[in-house]
Structure 1
Amino acid sequence: MHRTCVSPVLVGRRTELDRLLAALANAAAGTPQRLLIAGEAGIGKTRLLEEFLAAARRDGAVTAVGGCLELGAEGLPFAPFATALRTLHRSLPAEVAEAAAGREAELARLLPDLAPAPPAADGDRYDAESKGRLFELTGQLLERLARDRTVVLAVEDLHWSDRSTRELLGYLVRSVRSTRLAVLATYRSDDVHRRHPLRPFLAELERLRTVERIDLARLTRDEVSGQLAAITGRPPAPRLVDEVFRRSDGNPFFVEELLALTGEGGADLSSSLRDLLLVRVETLPEESQRVLRLAAEAGSTVEFGLLLAVSGLGEEELLAALRPAVDAGLLRPAEDTADGYRFRHALLREAVGDDLLPGERPRLNRRYAEALEADPALARPEERAGRLASYWHRAGDAARALPAALEAAGEACHRHAFAEQLVMLRRAIELWDRVPREDLPGLTGGWAEAYPARAESHTPADDYLDLLAEAAVAARLDDDVESSATLVKQALRTLDDTRDPERAAWFWLEASWHTIAAGRGDGWRELARAIELVEDRPPSAVKADVLARAALWRMLNTPDEEGLRLGEQAADLARHVAAHEVELQARITLAVLHSDTGDHDRAVRELYGLREEAARTGAPGPIARVHTNLTSVLCLAGRFREAIEAGRIGLEAAARAGLRDALASIGQNMVDALLSVGEWDEAERRLVQTRPYQGQARSRAGGDLVAAYLAMYRGDLERTAELFARSRTYISTEKLEPQAEFPVALVEAWVARQRRRFDEARTVVRDALAQRPEFGHEASVWALMASAAEGEAEAQGDPAAAAGRARFLDDLAAAAAELPAPSTLARADAAAFAAQLARARGGADAGLWTAALAALEPVERPYERARLSLRLAETLLASGGNRERAAELLRPARELAVRLGAEPLLTEVDAVAARARLSLTADSDADSVSGDPVEAFGLTARERDVLRLVSAGRTNRQIAEELFISPKTASVHVSNLMAKLGVSGRGEAAALAHRMRLFT
């Protein structure tokens, strides 16, 4: 007779259980809770979860648990959610029916019990029933169920999760608000190695302040003693405690296994964990051991009917064989099936499975596959295809494994689980050549509208190309650029582009996208080949797509009239061949080109309309682009608040559709807008939130560039330089798109000037101006020139900047004479440039600064306004003008600098006020005295003298000679004053002194 050694009470987890119960109370009060429970294998994650769920049910909560399956990465997407939703449906049938009313068919993708799932439609993969729609409906279902009751949803074994499960979990964590829902997930921390797919997902969740993580530590010796006492019902002998604690190292599962063995005659325990786990198995009857080995190969859970079919036993014989294993605590009933079993611990199942003989595993998998094919009802509908594909693959039967993999891929695609679809399609590619040609399955459907039509003489080779195309698209939708590129290259080496030029053109379009996404070029070479292949072909969806991509390329690289012509031609052709998604793409491109011509209002109007059309179609490409481009165009129009709101809507749409790169690009556009309106802390938070989605090289570069702007505004030179340098490592091409060229040049030139490399900074600006396109991006060019002129003005008095200044300023003036200012934003930056240019030449007057402020009036840019106000105040004071007006300008500028953490602006405002002996406190008279201006930095009289000589370019020895001190003392004074000024070198100290006009 075998006995279990499970403790009847939970030992050593009081603190963790209290945290879970506190979260339950918060959820009951209407604040959703998100928790991660982490720990090594055997540490007691499941036991803690069970204890908590029991307490939750006693408090009236409804609980549902779903476990990730080890086959999840091989085509069983959403398995834990399907299980959990089935539990909720059984617990609350009427409530679930009411909450899902009108959405039953769509939710059937996750909960087949609710209604028959909608059939997959060829060529119609991306309708309203998209992956994002599925996520949205699932979230709404849970919110409605948790409106009147507390609902606890738990996902176990997240380390085995498929990508789609992780994405849905992430969506729920981020999107569910104001409801009585608690979402928990457990994972095995010792399995999450550096390259484990769960690792970045965990990092993403842990950045969210709403997610709480609970780490389970090993038990102490006293806790192990308490566990042993709870199991045996009496205080354990100290020697037993010492032995078990030493051997188990405080792991509760190993404590129980060791006690079971020592309690049965003091078995001589092997030091091998596997042997330790198998010792108890080997004490079972032979038939029970055989059934355990069968069950281990089935997967995480095995249904009784399936095990019955595979075992060859009768029902009574199978139950008789199972009972000793259940009594010994090795097997237990599975919570997620009515008649299934699962091993008490995954480690135990792994050990039993590893004990199979070399030829035993393929035969067992064949029997499982044959049983499942004979009776599909033996497995749940959502798992059948994936499990069948896995069984046939492990059975080594390529001819059966290939169609099974394709069926599982189609099921994963139908459920919008692109990562799992890719796994199955890769397996099909691997098996393709191992299947006799006459047995090769033909592919049916799956092509989106823009895919090429089949050649008239269709061959198995075309089926293979179709397979590669399907896999490439799945990889692209999963944001796996490298995998998609590899598949496309494989296809291009295989196909005959003279026999099927449209199919070849489609693959070249994909290759162009890969080149751009990986940061390896502008993609024109590949796009040009696609154009060459279709230019003499009759109208088709592929030809329209090629023209649309050509228009998009010109929009991004050389916006001009040719881009407009191509865009209109593509839209007309797509309309003619009913390629609606391609038409949307072309019209989005045209709208952005209209913005480039200066007609921002028209562009915004068109993009708002296209946003509604894209939402109706559910097509991921147009959804991603229209939201990204709308936020960008609104920023270019100076409508920053509107851009922020459009960005919020765009992020929700991209999250629903699972568009990771769109989440990055829309988020970065929002950061631009937030910086402009002076919400820098929110911009920084938003920037952190976009990082997990920066999978493509260009989005990583864009994220670092936006972060560099923020660091630059705050005066952090080293951080700015670091971010800028890193952003350039992601892009291997020297020639940038205009939308990046001018912002990149602005930061690069600023860094060079701060390091007193003035010739380098001027070269950067000149090179960028030489890249100005035919039209568009004027505001960015004006901003670059205004920054360059400001830098020259602030470098006055620095000998290193004198050579070449006059010629460079003339070059800027010449460029300005040819540059239009078609938008409000461009006109504001043009006015600022005019004032900065005059200042750099030593002749700025109050009129120019007043004009610049007036030009900025229609645009919400408080930081730019504060900087212009500073210059106007400085000019008024220098000319003996209105001191009260100067103080009125400086006070809000200082308040803003303090709020934003804009150290350079704050330093300059304080220095100007100090020189003019103005107090900027609200309750003081404007003429009150604040003391010597240098004292604003806390410098002593001697340090002031040293700074004056440093500003004049003296060395330490020359300073020592002039002040009659030793060179060592001079060096100490220089170091002290640089620390007080917050600069890192003599050049920066001199530049700051000149910029602040601390000395005449």
Structure 2
Amino acid sequence: MRTRTVSPVFVGRVAPRAALAEALGLAAGGAPQAVLVGGEAGVGKTRLVEEFLLTAAAGGALTAVGACVEVGADGLPFAPVSGLLRVLHRELGQELTAAAAGFEGELSRLLPELGAPDARERSARDEEMRGRLFELTARLLERLAQERTLVLVIEDLHWSDRSTRELLGYVLRVVRDCRLLMVTTYRSDDIHRRHPLRPFLAELDRLRTVVRIELPRLTRDEVCAQLTGILGQTPSDERLAQVYRRSDGNAFFVEELASITGDGGQGTLSESVRDLLLLRVEALPETAQRVVRVVAQGGSRVEFGLLRAVVGLSEEEQFEALRAAVEAGVLRVGEDDTYRFRHALTREAVDDDLLPGERSRLSRRYAEALQAAPELVPADQRATRLASYWYHAHEPSRALPAVLDAAGEARCRHAYAEQLQLLERAAALWDDVPAEERRRLRVGAQTESYPICACPDELLGFLDLLAEMTLAARLAGEQERGVSVARRALRLLEGERHPLRAAWFWTQLSRLLRQLGRGDGWPELARAEEQLEGFPDSPVHALVLTEAAGWRVIFAPGPGSLATAERAVRLARTVGGPDALLNALISRGGLLVDVGEAERGLAEMREVADRVVREERVAVFTRSHVNLQSQLEGIGRSEAALAVADEALALAHRYGVADTRAWILGNRADSLFSLGRWAEVESACAEASRIAQTPVSRGLIAQRRARLAVARGQFAEAARQLALQRGHEEQEGAAAQTAHPAVEHRVVLAAAEGRVLDARALFAEVVRINRPTGTGCYTWPLVWQAARAESESVGVPAAEPGRAAAVALVRRYADSLARHYPVWIGYGLLVEAELRRAEGRSTAADWAAVVDAFAALSRPYEEGWSRTRWAEALLAEGERERAAAALAEAHGLAVGLGAAPLVAEGARLAARGRLPLGESAAPAGPGGPALTPRERDVLALVAAGRSNRRIAEELFISPKTVSVHVSNILAKLEVASRGEAAALAHRLGLVGASQRAS
């Protein structure tokens, strides 16, 4: 006899239930949470979530469930997110439509009920629009979770497509101040070492709002309770022992074993799990078994109408068969009249029991039924499912066009990883399809100026497919794969007369190699330009020249590059589109600024930015405002740069381009740092880190944080941030705007730790590479820090050999840099003054000029250092009153900024020169022997290897007085020599890092 198999009593799970309840409470309080529920197949994840949803709904929460869909071996792009949004749309109706107002065209890619994408969105750049889709989805959920607690569940994450994982990860990182709880389930026993879900889970584990739960198997007592609920009575000890032994505590297996009568009335149960799972199916009537086998081949769930078309039964016969399967606990009725297996393990067992020929035949029947009546499945699933059915039917001629259609739809939804998988499948099918049928297909890149023929020949048709694969790989972040595909295309083009296609592939290869950090991409761009020589202008010409102009802005600014930008503008006006023209104008504007024509260049860039806003050209916005903001900051107009940043942030929020917003915030942090608003720098970096989507943008945030940490003297934090940045920016071919700041911070760290030779080596490597400087704001600070490392290491024995050569190298490099703008002139004065200090010949007049330059620019950090050096020079020249005034002002700037190394430098100078700093002068030293402040100063210089005479010069006292201080120090430290005193001072922390570097 059969018994009910689902226990009416929910057994155990005390700790997981408590964790879910806690997460719900936090979410209800306005702190978004996520819970990841893992466990082996059949352990009870779904039951746990179902019980939790009942509790949440009873407490007033709105709940929705979506599931990752397995279509053959392919995940359906964004399927669980679309499912969730459909449920919310049914529940909320107009409220959801209102929450999506203004973005319906983009969100319709996930929820077609909102309408169709508008023309502006279709014309925008793919890489930005994908980020926009993610941002707008997160914003929609935030809006819906303001007035109520929203509990969203995504089941079967082990089947998820990459696009879904990336969208989910973004939402979990950025949503805040709303009442949202996300719960996901996944099979942990399916997550092998190379499963794509593994790194995703590791990434989520780092988020403080994410909790991971691993469901264990049931204990013997819990199995007993489960059996009692199923059987309606306590099982005998013998039956409990048998079920527990065979199920090993797996809740689903317990249910299956409970359905067998104690005397084995349905036959002897095999020890094989597969046989156990099939036992219930084999007990069904033959017609029901037939229906179950068809459902198993249809995917995770199958619609009633599609199932009927494939099975070929009358409606009454099908209802009867389905009713038997549902009552037996094999199938479940889902939403929208769909049917699925009650447990995926059973489906896998049934599918595994089919013969290969049966699978192909059933897949063919599914494909034929769906092709004849597409309305049988949701519109957003048709192309992908049809492609999967034809592919598994092993009919290449039918599969290839279906796969290409599915790839096109995946791109339309910004599911580039899935698009690439489908295109790779198309490439594998290509040779199995007759040539005449292939020629009828229209494939290939539909954007980016790729030249497509109306009637391509054999080679061109396949090249068009490779072009689409190249784009998909780049957009999916699969740069290595993109490089491989592009090179394959270029090999096919060798000896062929298709220069436009060759130029296009060389241009794409240049981009991909730059993104991988394998060179700067110029050799490939040069090859692209070579291909076009002697041919009439075309959109490919505009693409290559515009790309070359953008490259030169970053890697090779100068008059020669300006000529390239001029050509790009002319070409874009005649054969390029509006976006190509605007991008070329942005490049030309930036290059004009770099050669000293700031007013003309900035006016041109401002005009482009205004047109971008007026015409809502989102694709160009990702460059227009970012570059304008950067150029303003680069020439010292920090307040104007902040104004552009504020405008751009509002637009980025409106357009929903989160990664661009992260870039804008990073540039804003640069201006805030220059103006001395360092607390706001922290906030800008934190916000940028929360929304950044790409490794490059995250690396730039780490770079900004490293700069702030260096200036504050938080050297361990600076090293940590530089380690985060390394690998993103410090790669072969990195541009000056990323490489030079990274080296700058490492030079400061090396000097602060007394590693002057390392600091020299770092700078010498920059000179050796001879990377073009780009906008001076990226290079001048590096040169200053290299000069400062030399001037502050005077008297350090290890640094003395080679100092003259090091100073000459820094001076020679500084002389090669442009000084078109006041801030660049100020840095030039600062560098020369530091170098003269290193040579022992700087004067108060030198430093007074530097102070005037930076005071006029409202750059308090550079001004603070300059005033400190000025005070030192005045003191050496005997002008104590003026020195005291300069030092007091510098000290005020340093304290206001929180620049600890600058504060310490001023305090040391005040102590050496007996200059007053008030109560905020040198802070109390670390614990240790009771040394006077003057003795600590002397000890610091002893530890740095200074002689008595050198100490006397630096402290403005006599050598005899130094000798007395040294004797007192040795006595107090109870050591016999200066070397022992230095070692003990370091060990006890009596000498800080900044003192050791002086």
Cα offset, 1:563, TM superposition: 1.6
Structure 1 unaligned residues grouped into runs of 5+: 996-1000
For the residue of structure 2 that corresponds to 1:829, the secondary structure is helix
Measure the CA separation in 2 of the matches of 1:264 and 1:652: 73
Cα offset, 1:427, TM superposition: 1.0
**Structure-to-structure mapping, 1:471-510, within 5 angstroms:** 471-495=469-493, 499-510=497-508
For the residue of structure 2 that corresponds to 1:65, the secondary structure is strand
Q: Which residue of 2 aligns with 1:998?
A: none
Mapped contact 1:37–1:213 kept (Cα < 8 A): yes
Mapped contact 1:556–1:739 kept (Cα < 8 A): yes
Q: Which residue of 2 aligns with 1:78?
A: 78
Q: Does 1:196 align with 2:195?
A: yes
Measure the CA separation in 2 of the matches of 1:968 and 1:187: 68
Cα offset, 1:510, TM superposition: 0.8
For the residue of structure 2 that corresponds to 1:440, the secondary structure is helix
Measure the CA separation in 1 of the matches of 2:917 and 2:279: 81
Measure the CA separation in 2 of the matches of 1:169 and 1:338: 25
CA RMSD of superposed structures (Å): 4.6
Cα offset, 1:863, TM superposition: 4.6
Q: Which residue of 1 aligns with 2:589?
A: 591
CA 976–600 in structure 1, closer or farther in 2 if over 3 Å, else same: farther
Mapped contact 1:786–1:837 kept (Cα < 8 A): no
Measure the CA separation in 1 of the matches of 2:31 and 2:724: 40
For the residue of structure 2 that corresponds to 1:951, the secondary structure is coil
For the residue of structure 1 that corresponds to 2:65, the secondary structure is strand
Mapped contact 2:3–2:231 kept (Cα < 8 A): no
Q: Does 1:311 align with 2:311?
A: yes
Measure the CA separation in 2 of the matches of 1:757 and 1:577: 56
Measure the CA separation in 2 of the matches of 1:675 and 1:203: 34
Measure the CA separation in 2 of the matches of 1:654 and 1:463: 39
CA 451–969 in structure 1, closer or farther in 2 if over 3 Å, else same: same
Q: Deviations 1:921-969 (Å, cap 9, x if unpaired)?
A: 85x8x7x997999969999999987983772599xxxx99x98999999
Cα offset, 1:323, TM superposition: 2.7
Cα offset, 1:387, TM superposition: 0.6
Cα offset, 1:29, TM superposition: 5.8
Measure the CA separation in 2 of the matches of 1:84 and 1:887: 64
Mapped contact 1:711–1:719 kept (Cα < 8 A): yes
Q: Does 1:348 align with 2:346?
A: yes
1:302 counterpart letter in structure 2:
V
Deviates more, 1:549-558 or 1:478-487: 549-558
Q: Which residue of 1 aligns with 2:953?
A: none
Mapped contact 2:223–2:244 kept (Cα < 8 A): yes
Q: Which residue of 2 aligns with 1:327?
A: 327
Q: Which residue of 1 aligns with 2:406?
A: 408
CA 730–499 in structure 1, closer or farther in 2 if over 3 Å, else same: same
For the residue of structure 1 that corresponds to 2:880, the secondary structure is coil
Mapped contact 1:846–1:876 kept (Cα < 8 A): yes
1:291 counterpart letter in structure 2:
V
Q: Does 1:111 align with 2:111?
A: yes
Deviates more, 1:494-503 or 1:18-27: 18-27
Cα offset, 1:573, TM superposition: 1.7
Cα offset, 1:155, TM superposition: 2.3
Measure the CA separation in 2 of the matches of 1:195 and 1:645: 47
1:981 maps to which of 963, 966, 989: 989
Mapped contact 2:157–2:186 kept (Cα < 8 A): yes
Q: Which residue of 1 aligns with 2:51?
A: 51
Q: Which residue of 2 aligns with 1:161?
A: 160
Cα offset, 1:835, TM superposition: 3.5
Cα offset, 1:789, TM superposition: 1.9
Mapped contact 1:298–1:368 kept (Cα < 8 A): yes
Deviates more, 1:758-767 or 1:583-592: 758-767
Q: Does 1:804 align with 2:802?
A: yes
CA 284–435 in structure 1, closer or farther in 2 if over 3 Å, else same: same
Measure the CA separation in 2 of the matches of 1:12 and 1:363: 45
Measure the CA separation in 2 of the matches of 1:395 and 1:118: 33
Measure the CA separation in 1 of the matches of 2:598 and 2:213: 50
2:987 counterpart letter in structure 1:
A
Cα offset, 1:145, TM superposition: 4.7
CA 517–451 in structure 1, closer or farther in 2 if over 3 Å, else same: same
Q: Which residue of 2 aligns with 1:382?
A: 380
Measure the CA separation in 1 of the matches of 2:147 and 2:754: 65
Q: Which residue of 2 aligns with 1:291?
A: 291
Cα offset, 1:34, TM superposition: 4.5
Measure the CA separation in 2 of the matches of 1:891 and 1:243: 81
Q: Deviations 1:265-299 (Å, cap 9, x if unpaired)?
A: 49866554434433433443444333222211111
Q: Which residue of 1 aligns with 2:945?
A: 951
Measure the CA separation in 2 of the matches of 1:79 and 1:154: 13
Deviates more, 1:973-982 or 1:930-939: 930-939
For the residue of structure 1 that corresponds to 2:66, the secondary structure is strand
Measure the CA separation in 2 of the matches of 1:23 and 1:816: 57
Mapped contact 1:917–1:933 kept (Cα < 8 A): no
Mapped contact 2:783–2:831 kept (Cα < 8 A): yes
For the residue of structure 2 that corresponds to 1:430, the secondary structure is helix
Q: Which residue of 2 aligns with 1:394?
A: 392
Cα offset, 1:478, TM superposition: 1.8
Cα offset, 1:473, TM superposition: 1.1
1:500 counterpart letter in structure 2:
H
Measure the CA separation in 2 of the matches of 1:756 and 1:963: 23
Q: Which residue of 2 aligns with 1:547?
A: 545
Deviates more, 1:730-739 or 1:149-158: 730-739
CA 653–278 in structure 1, closer or farther in 2 if over 3 Å, else same: farther
Mapped contact 2:756–2:793 kept (Cα < 8 A): no
Q: Deviations 1:892-916 (Å, cap 9, x if unpaired)?
A: 466467x57x5x4565455455556
Cα offset, 1:884, TM superposition: 6.3
Q: Which residue of 2 aligns with 1:440?
A: 438
Q: Deviations 1:435-467 (Å, cap 9, x if unpaired)?
A: 011121544477445424345873232222111
Q: Deviations 1:520-573 (Å, cap 9, x if unpaired)?
A: 222222212211221322221111111112222322222122222221221222
Cα offset, 1:343, TM superposition: 1.4
Measure the CA separation in 2 of the matches of 1:700 and 1:178: 23
Q: Using CA pairs below 8 Å that are at least 6 residues apart, which structure has the higher relative contact order? A: 1
Q: Deviations 1:221-250 (Å, cap 9, x if unpaired)?
A: 554444444434445556665665555454
Q: Deviations 1:837-876 (Å, cap 9, x if unpaired)?
A: 3332334455544543443335565554554455455556
**TM-score between the two structures when normalised by the length of structure 1:** 0.84
Measure the CA separation in 1 of the matches of 2:411 and 2:164: 14
Count residues in correspondence.
Answer: 973
Q: Which residue of 1 aligns with 2:951?
A: none
Cα offset, 1:429, TM superposition: 1.1
2:824 maps to which of 820, 823, 826: 826
CA 793–398 in structure 1, closer or farther in 2 if over 3 Å, else same: same
1:513 counterpart letter in structure 2:
R
Q: Which residue of 1 aligns with 2:788?
A: 790
Q: Deviations 1:619-674 (Å, cap 9, x if unpaired)?
A: 77634433543453244134557767866886897899898986776665456556
Mapped contact 1:123–1:446 kept (Cα < 8 A): no
1:610 maps to which of 608, 611, 614: 608
Share of identical aligned residues, percent? 45
Measure the CA separation in 2 of the matches of 1:542 and 1:452: 7
Deviates more, 1:461-470 or 1:640-649: 640-649
Mapped contact 1:667–1:690 kept (Cα < 8 A): no
Measure the CA separation in 1 of the matches of 2:144 and 2:664: 32
2:42 counterpart letter in structure 1:
G
CA 785–726 in structure 1, closer or farther in 2 if over 3 Å, else same: same
Cα offset, 1:301, TM superposition: 0.6
1:152 counterpart letter in structure 2:
V
For the residue of structure 2 that corresponds to 1:453, the secondary structure is coil
Measure the CA separation in 2 of the matches of 1:791 and 1:654: 40
CA 385–213 in structure 1, closer or farther in 2 if over 3 Å, else same: same
Mapped contact 1:873–1:889 kept (Cα < 8 A): no
Deviates more, 1:285-294 or 1:534-543: 285-294
Deviates more, 1:751-760 or 1:314-323: 751-760
CA 368–982 in structure 1, closer or farther in 2 if over 3 Å, else same: farther
Measure the CA separation in 2 of the matches of 1:406 and 1:656: 34
Measure the CA separation in 2 of the matches of 1:783 and 1:752: 16
1:693 counterpart letter in structure 2:
T
2:989 counterpart letter in structure 1:
L
Measure the CA separation in 1 of the matches of 2:427 and 2:261: 52
Measure the CA separation in 1 of the matches of 2:863 and 2:442: 61
Q: Which residue of 2 aligns with 1:281?
A: 281
**Structure-to-structure mapping, 1:218-229, within 5 angstroms:** 218-229=217-228
Measure the CA separation in 2 of the matches of 1:57 and 1:932: 58
Q: Does 1:451 align with 2:449?
A: yes
